[in-house]
């Protein structure tokens, strides 16, 4: 996953990190940058797991083709800052993406991201929701530009996942969390509450 992770962090550059820091109310952009890398890694890992799952893979491909063509990456700073609108509102539905990918593990993931970055759990959770559309856009762009079917997409994702296996967040505690299937529960409401509070 290292190539895709590097590509994600290229888009999440210093200007974008500063913008994200403002949006979640974080004082230290370095904490946000560390958290952004962790969030990107775990979301890529979660997507790779779905791509190799017969039952969930079709839904993933449908979402990529319908809502995530990579257009968000063209002016990421403008989209995140609200200066540029997107035609499809589902493209920016970070809460829905995170819920679909992480299910009832959202709170635990946010907690671990917070511990490794220094952000509190609510800021980590909101950051996940802001970064999720970026990661889906990145995968959607790969799928579209290379004309990949589900098998081709899974090959790219899992090829990178094998490189990072055993190291980093995806190979550690968060990987174990994702191994347990969860379809979502009321715990993610805490993160949504935190997001509303931070947006006021």
pLDDT digits (tens, 9 = 90+) for 34-68: 999 999 999 998 898 888 887 788 888 888 888 89
The stretch 130-141 carries a mean pLDDT of 94
More confident residue, 163 or 129: 129
Reported pTM: 0.81
The stretch 130-152 carries a mean pLDDT of 90
Average pLDDT, the chain: 82
User: Rounded to whole angstroms, how far apart are CA atoms 165 and 171?
Assistant: 5
More confident residue, 37 or 173: 37
């Amino acid at each position: 996953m290292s190539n895709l992770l590097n590509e994600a962090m290229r888009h999440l550059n210093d200007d974008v990190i500063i913008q994200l820091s403002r949006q979640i109310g974080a004082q230290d952009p370095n904490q946000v940058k560390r958290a952004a890398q962790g969030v990107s890694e775990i979301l890529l890992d979660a997507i790779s797991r779905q791509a190799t799952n017969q039952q969930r893979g079709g839904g993933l491909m449908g979402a990529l083709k319908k809502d995530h063509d990579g257009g968000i990456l063209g002016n990421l700073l403008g989209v995140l800052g609200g200066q540029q609108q997107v035609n499809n509102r589902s493209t920016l539905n970070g809460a829905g993406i995170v819920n679909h990918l992480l299910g009832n593990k959202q709170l635990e993931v946010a907690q671990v991201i917070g511990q490794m970055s220094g952000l509190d759990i609510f800021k980590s959770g909101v950051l996940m929701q802001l970064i999720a559309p970026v990661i889906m856009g990145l995968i959607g762009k790969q799928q579209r530009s290379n004309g990949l079917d589900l098998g081709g997409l899974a090959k790219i994702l899992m090829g990178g996942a094998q490189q990072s296996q055993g190291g980093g967040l995806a190979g550690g505690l968060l990987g174990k969390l994702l191994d347990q299937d969860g379809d979502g529960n009321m715990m993610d409401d805490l993160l949504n509450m935190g997001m509303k509070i931070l947006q006021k």
